[in-house]
Amino acid sequence: MAESVLTLKDVHFSYGDQTVLQGVNLSLRRGEFLGLVGPNGSGKSTLIQLALGSMVSDAGEITLFDQPLRRFRDWSKIGYVSQKVNSFNRGFPATVSEVVASGLYGKLGLFRRMKKNDWNKVDETLERVGLSDLSRRNIGRLSGGQQQRAFIARALVHDPELLILDEPTVGVDTRSVEEFYTLLTHLHREKGLSLLLVTHDIGAVTTYVDRIACLNKKIHFHGDPDEFTRKRRKILSVAYGHEVQVLKHDHEPVPLA
């Protein structure tokens, strides 16, 4: 059995009298690509914030890399891309390289100067995501899809073992979304990176991920894509409270360059 990089056991969370998560059980194994789907307000982003230690659950247990969350300290093992990356200030005066380099501050310390090998790491990471030619461009001058890849590079530059992405394709054009999934597939299959993707794109998760979890306060499904596809009408009607139309992705992977 592969090591668990993230496990939630009977996790509960409420905002006052409003129940957000109720008895959630979820696991992500090393080297696995897990897609988390569910309607707006289903608790997906809350689950991520609990897993990252930004909020504290009311009950239940969360472990990271088989360590209880309260004792976990090695945050360099985790890369995180927020759903807010596409709404940042476009006038922010930083180049793509500088934005990616900021992902090293957790390891280096905020006031330690970047050395040559650190900048080499930034360059290598930009090449991985297909942005080498744009390294000196201001981050605000990039397209939505290019900015998305820049922030993924920022999350990858310190070599995490787990990458968590919270609705990263919101507001991004179709071709950029295709490039995004091509990049994730490469990171997963070629680099062995563990991935947790929160998304509304049900058609994409059935195409790319190893396992799917469907959340709406509770976990309504947690299994492989084939089983999800066979049972999705019932799963989604219960989780979403109505019929859901799923669009299938038939495109071929798109080159990043």
Q: Is the pLDDT of residue 257 over 50?
A: no
Sheet holding 194-198, edge to edge: 78-81, 162-166, 194-198, 33-37, 211-216, 218-223
Q: 162-166 and 78-81 as β-strands: parallel, antiparallel, unpaired?
A: parallel
DSSP letter, residue 217: S
Amino acid at 18: Q
Amino acid at 238: V
Helices (H), 22-76: 44-51
Helices (H), 40-115: 44-51, 96-101, 105-108
Q: How would residue 175 be classed by pLDDT, with cut points 50, 70 and 90?
A: confident
Is the Cβ–Cβ distance between 187 and 208 less than 8 Å? no
Amino acid at 52: L
pLDDT (0 to 100) of residue 251: 47
pTM confidence score = 0.87
Give the contacts of 152 (CB within 8 A, at least 6 positions apart).
81, 129, 163, 165, 168, 183
Give the contacts of 101 (CB within 8 A, at least 6 positions apart).
114, 118, 119, 122, 157
Report the length, in residues, of the chain: 257
Show me where the domains of the chain are located: 4-85+161-240
User: How far is the C-alpha of 68 from the C-alpha of 50, rounded, in Å?
Assistant: 12
What the block records as the tokens of 213 is 């979890």
User: How far is the C-alpha of 105 from the C-alpha of 220, rounded, in Å?
Assistant: 39
Q: How would residue 85 be classed by pLDDT, with cut points 50, 70 and 90?
A: low
DSSP letter, residue 58: S
Give the Cα-Cα-Cα angle 10, 44, 25 (nearest 5 degrees): 20
**pLDDT digit string, tens, across residues 208-250:** 899 999 999 999 999 999 999 999 889 988 888 765 555 555 5
**pLDDT digit string, tens, across residues 183-192:** 888 888 888 8
Identify the CATH assignment for 4-85+161-240 out of 3.40.50.300, 1.20.1740.10, 3.40.50.2300, 3.40.190.10. 3.40.50.300
DSSP letter, residue 36: E
| Higher pLDDT, residue 244 or 175 | 175
User: How far is the C-alpha of 48 from the C-alpha of 196, rounded, in Å?
Assistant: 9
Distances (CA, A) of 109 to 101, 104, 163: 12, 8, 21
**Rounded to an integer, what is the distance from CA 155 to the centroid of its chain?**
10
Average pLDDT, rounded, for the chain: 87
Mean of pLDDT values over 44-71: 96
Distances (CA, A) of 132 to 69, 123, 124, 125: 36, 7, 8, 9
pLDDT (0 to 100) of residue 108: 61
Is the Cβ–Cβ distance between 248 and 175 less than 8 Å? no
| Higher pLDDT, residue 172 or 119 | 119
